[in-house]
């Protein structure tokens, strides 16, 4: 899943693709590099970000989705809003990637239920401007707590009419998580497998990688974390993660080629 941020303020590439033309060109480039899915988002969810107006988000994503669907792409819309999800599906998107798992706008579940779209539900506790206040996972620890809270979301999603076979779950790396929480979740994805849904993991360029690679207490720059991410991609692929949400599709494809070569030799 290649990321196309049609935003002025995303943490990784805000402003680079904030016009329809530049976003479509970037999406086409990611397709050429081997992306299976393009995830189009019009709202930054970096820590501290403020939300755009609904009209702004619609204006950002719908023309891009329409163009890229017309180019033959399988498109996902990255949104927490029912209005945006509905407009995106009307424009040809086939996946709704909701970082709030239906908590920010419960109406989004009815939109998905009334379509044939797949739905990605991420572990989420609060909007970007407040999520740093929700990193306490006592007494059960982050793995068991995330499993329980994702399980609660899955029950609500099914109750809204979205069948389990159309749902993917995302542990929400970096969202209301301290750096160590992310590594604990990555090391225990088998616990989340118990929920019975495919898993999507989005670790690309995130701050916990910058913290891991810090020098002199200074985190590694956002655009210099790809080597560590490629190593993580290979490990996640070997483990059988179903979907990887990434910025650098070429580097990801290279890592997956290594995994495929090892698997074919073993077979």
Catalytic residues: 206, 245
Sign for the CA dihedral angle at 196, 83, 106, 150 comes to positive
Task: Retrieve residue 71's tokens.
Answer: 């180019």
- Name residues whose C-beta falls within 8 Å of residue 190's C-beta, 6 or more positions apart in sequence: none
- Name residues whose C-beta falls within 8 Å of residue 18's C-beta, 6 or more positions apart in sequence: 6, 7, 8, 60
Question: What number of other Cβ atoms are within 10 A of residue 102's Cβ?
Answer: 24
Separation CA 200–CA 223 (nearest Å): 22
**Contact yes or no for 210/219 (Cβ under 8 A):** yes
Helix axes 20-33, 54-70, angle to 10 degrees: 40
Task: Retrieve residue 3's tokens.
Answer: 């990321």
- Name residues whose C-beta falls within 8 Å of residue 23's C-beta, 6 or more positions apart in sequence: 4, 6, 17, 40, 64
| DSSP at 164 | G
């Amino acid at each position: 899943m290649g990321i196309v941020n049609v935003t002025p303020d995303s943490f990784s590439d805000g402003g680079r693709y904030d016009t329809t033309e530049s976003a479509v060109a970037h999406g086409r480039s990611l397709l050429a590099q081997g992306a299976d899915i393009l995830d189009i988002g019009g709202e930054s969810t970096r820590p501290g970000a403020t939300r755009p107006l609904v009209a702004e988000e619609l204006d950002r994503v719908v023309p891009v989705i329409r163009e890229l669907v017309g180019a033959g792409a399988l498109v996902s819309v990255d949104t927490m809003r029912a209005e945006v999800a509905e407009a995106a599906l009307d424009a040809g998107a086939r996946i709704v990637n909701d970082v709030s798992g239906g908590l920010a706008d419960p109406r989004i579940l009815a939109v998905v239920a009334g379509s044939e779209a797949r739905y990605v539900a991420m572990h989420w506790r609060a909007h970007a401007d407040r999520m740093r206040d929700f990193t306490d996972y006592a007494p059960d620890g982050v793995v068991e707590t995330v499993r329980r809270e994702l399980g609660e979301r899955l029950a609500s999603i099914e109750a809204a009419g979205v069948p389990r076979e159309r749902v993917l779950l995302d542990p929400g790396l970096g969202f209301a998580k301290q750096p160590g929480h992310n590594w604990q979740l990555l090391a225990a994805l088998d616990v989340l497998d118990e929920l019975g849904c495919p898993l999507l993991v989005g670790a690309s360029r995130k701050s916990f990688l910058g913290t891991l690679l810090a020098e002199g207490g200074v985190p590694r720059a956002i655009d210099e974390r790809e080597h560590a991410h490629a190593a993580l991609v290979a490990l996640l692929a070997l483990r059988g993660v179903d979907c990887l949400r990434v910025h650098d599709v070429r580097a990801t494809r290279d890592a997956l080629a290594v995994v495929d070569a090892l698997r074919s030799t073993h077979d």
